[in-house]
Amino acid sequence: MRMTTASTCCYCGVGCGVLIEHDGERILDVAGDPSHPANLGKLCSKGSTLHLTGDLGARALYPELRLGKGLARGRTDWASALEHAASVFAETIREHGPDSVAFYVSGQLLTEDYYAFNKLARALVGTNNLDSNSRLCMSSAVVGYKRSLGADAPPCSYEDIEQADCLLIAGSNMAYAHPVLFRRLEEAKAKRPEMTIIVVDPRRTDTSELADLHLPILPGTDVALFHGLLHILMWEGWIDRRFIDAHTEGFDALKSLVRDYTPAMVADLCGISVDDLQTCARLIGSAPAFLSLWCMGLNQSTAGSAKNSALINLHLATGQIGKPGAGPFSLTGQPNAMGGRETGSLSNLLPGHRDAANAEHRAEVAAYWGVEQLPEQPGLPAIGLFEAVRAGKIKALWIACTNPAQSLPDQQKVHEALATCPFVVVQEAFFTTETCRHADLLLPAASWGEKEGTVTNSERRISHVRRAVPAPGEARADWAITCDFARRLERHLRPGAPSLFAFESAEALFEEYKPLTAARDLDYSGLSYALIDTLGPQQWPFPPGSELGTARLYGDGVFPTANGRARFVAEHYQAPKEKREARYPLTLNTGRLRDQWHGMSRTGTAARLFGHVEEALLCMNAEDMRRRRLLDGQLVKMKSRRGSLILPVQKDDSLRAGQAFLPMHWGDRFLKGLGSNVLTLASVDPLSKQPELKHAGIEVERVELPWQFFALVEGDVQRRFEALRPLFETFDYASFSLGGRERSALLIRGARDAAPTAVELDAIDHLLGLDEGPVLAYDDPRRAVGKRVRIEDGRIVALRLAGETAARQWLRGLWESGSADAELRRWLLAPLSAPPGNAKIGTDRTLCNCLNVSQSAICAGIERGLDLTGLKQELGCGTSCGSCVPELKRLLAHQPERALL
Ligand X SMILES: Nc1nc2c(c(=O)[nH]1)N[C@H]1C(S)=C(S)[C@@H](COP(=O)(O)OP(=O)(O)OC[C@H]3O[C@@H](n4cnc5c(=O)[nH]c(N)nc54)[C@H](O)[C@@H]3O)O[C@H]1N2
Q: Name the site residues for Mo ion (rule: CB under 5 A).
A: 137, 333
Within 471-530, the residues that bind ligand X by CB under 6 A are: 478
C-beta of residue 7 within 8 angstroms of C-beta of residue 449: yes
Which of 463, 468, 424, 464 has its CA nearest to residue 446?
A: 468
Question: Which of ligand X, Mo ion, ligand SF4, none sits in contact with 14, Cβ below 5 to 8 A by type?
Answer: ligand SF4
Burial class (CB in 10 A: 0-12, 13-18, 19+), 387: middle
Neighbours of 727 (CB within 10 A): 18
Shortest distance in whole angstroms from residue 540 CB to ligand X: 21
Shortest distance in whole angstroms from residue 333 CB to Mo ion: 3
Specify the stretch interacting with ligand X by CB under 6 A; choose among 95-103, 296-304, 342-350, 558-566.
296-304
Please tell me whether residue 84 binds ligand X under the rule CB under 6 A: no
Please tell me whether residue 216 binds ligand X under the rule CB under 6 A: no
Question: Which of Mo ion, ligand X, ligand SF4, none sits in contact with 568, Cβ below 5 to 8 A by type?
Answer: none
Report DSSP letters for 353-396, one per residue: TEETT-HHHHHHHHHHHT-S----SPPPPHHHHHHHHHTTS--E
C-beta of residue 573 within 8 angstroms of C-beta of residue 224: yes
Dihedrals phi, psi of 488, to nearest 5 degrees: -70, -35
What is the Cα–Cα distance from 346 to 342, expressed in whole angstroms? 10
Shortest distance in whole angstroms from residue 176 CB to ligand X: 5
The angle, 0 to 180 degrees and rounded to 10, between the axes of the packed helices 304-318 and 222-235 is: 20
Q: What residues line the site for ligand SF4 (CB under 6 A)?
A: 9, 11-12, 14-16, 39, 43-44, 46-47, 178-180
Residue nearest to Mo ion (CB): 333
Shortest distance in whole angstroms from residue 753 CB to ligand X: 28
H or E element, residue 619: strand 618-620
Which residue number, 467 or 602, has a Cβ lying nearer to ligand X? 602
Shortest distance in whole angstroms from residue 120 CB to ligand SF4: 28
What is the Cα–Cα distance from 804 to 783, expressed in whole angstroms? 9
What is the Cα–Cα distance from 455 to 464, expressed in whole angstroms? 7
Which residue number, 450 or 765, has a Cβ lying nearer to ligand X? 450
What is the Cα–Cα distance from 803 to 851, expressed in whole angstroms? 37
Neighbours of 632 (CB within 10 A): 14
Which residue number, 144 or 333, has a Cβ lying nearer to Mo ion? 333
Dihedrals phi, psi of 424, to nearest 5 degrees: -115, 120
Which residue number, 656 or 752, has a Cβ lying nearer to ligand X? 656
C-beta of residue 447 within 8 angstroms of C-beta of residue 428: no
Shortest distance in whole angstroms from residue 1 CB to ligand SF4: 26
Which residue number, 12 or 125, has a Cβ lying nearer to ligand SF4? 12
Q: What is the CA radius of gyration of the chain?
A: 27
Which residue number, 128 or 427, has a Cβ lying nearer to ligand X? 427
Shortest distance in whole angstroms from residue 180 CB to ligand X: 11
Which residue number, 41 or 557, has a Cβ lying nearer to ligand SF4? 41
Please tell me whether residue 116 binds ligand X under the rule CB under 6 A: no
Distances (CA, A) of 838 to 197, 312, 827, 831, 834: 48, 60, 12, 17, 11
Please tell me whether residue 222 binds ligand X under the rule CB under 6 A: yes
Site string for ligand X, 642-671 (x = CB under 6 A): ----------------------x-------
Helix (H, G, I), strand (E, B) or coil at 752: strand
Which residue number, 39 or 735, has a Cβ lying nearer to ligand SF4? 39
Shortest distance in whole angstroms from residue 335 CB to ligand SF4: 7
Burial class (CB in 10 A: 0-12, 13-18, 19+), 343: buried
What is the Cα–Cα distance from 624 to 627, expressed in whole angstroms? 5
Please tell me whether residue 594 binds ligand X under the rule CB under 6 A: yes
Helix (H, G, I), strand (E, B) or coil at 294: strand
User: Which residues are CB-neighbours of 428 under 8 A, at least 6 positions away?
Assistant: 60, 400, 401, 403, 435, 436, 439, 442, 443, 444, 445, 601
Which residue number, 427 or 517, has a Cβ lying nearer to ligand X? 427
Which residue number, 333 or 750, has a Cβ lying nearer to Mo ion? 333
Within 849-888, the residues that bind ligand X by CB under 6 A are: none
Shortest distance in whole angstroms from residue 815 CB to ligand X: 27
Neighbours of 585 (CB within 10 A): 14
Dihedrals phi, psi of 93, to nearest 5 degrees: -65, -45
Which residue number, 36 or 203, has a Cβ lying nearer to ligand SF4? 36
Question: Which of Mo ion, ligand SF4, ligand X, none sits in contact with 47, Cβ below 5 to 8 A by type?
Answer: ligand SF4
C-beta of residue 648 within 8 angstroms of C-beta of residue 843: no
Which residue number, 219 or 526, has a Cβ lying nearer to ligand X? 219
Which residue number, 126 or 340, has a Cβ lying nearer to ligand X? 340
Size of interface with ligand X, in residues (CB under 6 A): 59
Task: Give the one residue of 333, 526, 536, 882 binding ligand X; rule: CB under 6 A.
Answer: 333
Please tell me whether residue 402 binds ligand X under the rule CB under 6 A: yes
Site string for ligand X, 135-164 (x = CB under 6 A): -xx---------------------------
Specify the stretch interacting with ligand X by CB under 6 A; choose among 360-368, 587-595, 785-793, 861-869.
587-595
Please tell me whether residue 133 binds ligand X under the rule CB under 6 A: yes
Please tell me whether residue 171 binds ligand X under the rule CB under 6 A: yes
Residue nearest to ligand SF4 (CB): 47
Site string for ligand X, 606-635 (x = CB under 6 A): ------------------------------
Shortest distance in whole angstroms from residue 44 CB to ligand SF4: 3
Which residue number, 666 or 827, has a Cβ lying nearer to ligand X? 666
Please tell me whether residue 205 binds ligand X under the rule CB under 6 A: yes
C-beta of residue 824 within 8 angstroms of C-beta of residue 807: no
Distance of CA 219 to the CA centre of its chain: 20
Please tell me whether residue 170 binds ligand X under the rule CB under 6 A: yes
Question: Which of ligand SF4, ligand X, Mo ion, none sits in contact with 135, Cβ below 5 to 8 A by type?
Answer: none
How many Cα atoms within 13 Å fall on the side-chain side of residue 270? 30
Which of 167, 138, 177 has its CA nearest to residue 301?
A: 138
Which residue number, 39 or 525, has a Cβ lying nearer to ligand SF4? 39
Distances (CA, A) of 539 to 162, 238, 249, 339: 18, 32, 28, 12
H or E element, residue 531: helix 529-535
Q: What is the DSSP letter of 896?
A: G
Shortest distance in whole angstroms from residue 459 CB to ligand X: 15
Shortest distance in whole angstroms from residue 385 CB to Mo ion: 17
Which residue number, 14 or 745, has a Cβ lying nearer to ligand SF4? 14
187-194: Cβ within 8 A, 24+ apart: 188/161, 188/162, 188/164, 194/165
Q: What angle do CA 153, 159, 163 make, to 5 degrees?
A: 110
How many Cα atoms within 13 Å fall on the side-chain side of residue 895? 13
Question: Which of ligand X, ligand SF4, Mo ion, none sits in contact with 180, Cβ below 5 to 8 A by type?
Answer: ligand SF4
Shortest distance in whole angstroms from residue 880 CB to ligand X: 17
Site string for ligand X, 667-706 (x = CB under 6 A): ---------xx--x------------xx------------
User: Which residues are CB-neighbours of 750 under 8 A, at least 6 positions away?
Assistant: 708, 709, 710, 728, 731, 733, 734, 735
- Binding stretches for ligand X (CB under 6 A): 12, 46, 106, 108, 133, 136-137, 170-174, 176-177, 200-203, 205, 219-220, 222, 295-297, 300, 333-334, 400-403, 406-407, 427-430, 433, 445, 447, 478, 589-592, 594, 596-599, 601-602, 664, 676-677, 680, 693-694
